Amino acid sequence: MTHLARPGSPETPGSMLPPDDALDPIRRIAAELAPRAAAIDHEGLYPGDVLARLGEAGAFSPHLAAHRRDPHDHLGFAIRAMTEIGASCMSTAFCMWCQDACGWYLENTGNAGLRERLQPGIAAGKQFGGTGLSNPVKALSGIEKFKLRAERVSGGYVVSGVLPWVSNLGDGHVFGTVFEDAADPGHRLMGMVRCGAGGAEIRQNARFIALEGTGTYSVLFRKVFVADDMLLADPLGDMVKRVKPGFILLQTGMGLGVIAGAIAAMHTANRTLGATNRYLPRQVEMFEAAFDTLRQTIDRLAATPLDGSIDYVRAVLTARLEVSELALEAAQSALLHSGARGYIAGSAVSRLLRESYFVAIITPSIKHLRQELEMLGRH
């Protein structure tokens, strides 16, 4: 990524992130990852070895108090790491988001024992994790019903139901999700679930137009026992509300990565097609400026992920929405800059287009963000 637009100052005012060169180890991994992006995207190659290296490099720990490596680390640095990787391969950046979100749930649980047991492995990339919060986020917003129901038994809960899409999964991986009490729908709880032997069963029945290598599965809960010591919050209380801004902000790393990848593709196209590309209505400099502004906003917001004020939440949702919209526009512009070479099956630009759609539809999607912003506007 030689053309990744960077802010003018490595330490954006208000965020106090570590210096920009702290990302160099991540950039080296991104460069080595780029040639494998097509296989991950299309052939279903799961980038587990890359994720392990990212864990060793500290990509999953900036937002985890017990594991951060630099006193200036915070959520913003995790987003920057994801952006670097996303510019080469958004599938891998998406897996990073899953891992980061999983660590974030553990960061915010009152169950210190669970945090101490699982978070070191998540932070180091030795234990992979995902997030099954799409359905709960939508259910809590009244968009759909809870898909998992729990029955109280001795020492824990027995959970039934199915979550259609949970990512960064494999046998032995863990993920956080929310259950509704079958006996009392007003009682919700959040727990960590382990995939495989004795746990939830994962099945890969569907194929997607991109991101095939992200370990995305349907998770079948056929009376799965979730022990009390795996619970993140019971009752749920404000757990989802507390983790949601961080959960959403972390996603911006994927989208910024796509935008950065599209900017790089525009520069590449301009080397040979620049004389004609200058007639396109949206030029690469416009995207670089928008990227810079958006990233500075996100750096600032990422410094205070537990600010639950309405103004803060509104700013987070707006930034996330702007990332989605800019990713769509940038990927389209990359194709317009590249012409037929971008339209060839397997081209990096065609992958960017499909990746940008993912940024726009993953929960919270553009429509959900707009809905939530409108609802917030009434407060």
Per CB under 8 A, residues contacting other proteins are 144, 149, 160-162, 164-165, 182, 201, 203, 205-207, 218, 220-222
Cβ-based nearer residue to other proteins, 332 or 371: 371
The CB-side HSE value for 64 (13 A sphere, CA atoms) comes to 27
Cβ-based nearer residue to other proteins, 49 or 144: 144
Q: Give least dist CB 165 to other proteins, A.
A: 7
- DSSP per-residue letters across 156-195: EEEEEEEEEEE-S--TT-EEEEEEEETTEEEEEEEEEEEB
Q: Give least dist CB 42 to other proteins, A.
A: 18
Q: Which residues, 6 or more positions from 243, have their beta carbon under 8 angstroms from its beta carbon?
A: 101, 104, 105, 108, 133
- DSSP per-residue letters across 72-112: T--HHHHHHHHHHHHHH-HHHHHHHHHHHHHHHHHHT-S-H
Q: Give least dist CB 342 to other proteins, A.
A: 27
Q: Give least dist CB 220 to other proteins, A.
A: 5
Q: Give least dist CB 92 to other proteins, A.
A: 23
Phi, psi of 154 (to 5 degrees): -60, 120
From CA 120, how far away is CA 195, in angstroms rounded? 19
Cβ-based nearer residue to other proteins, 154 or 205: 205
Cβ-based nearer residue to other proteins, 226 or 260: 226
CA distances to 60, 177, 183 from 194, rounded to whole Å, are 19, 11, 24
Cβ-based nearer residue to other proteins, 60 or 221: 221
**Quick one: the chain helix, strand, coil %, rounded to 5?**
55, 15, 30
Q: Give least dist CB 206 to other proteins, A.
A: 4
Cβ-based nearer residue to other proteins, 149 or 351: 149
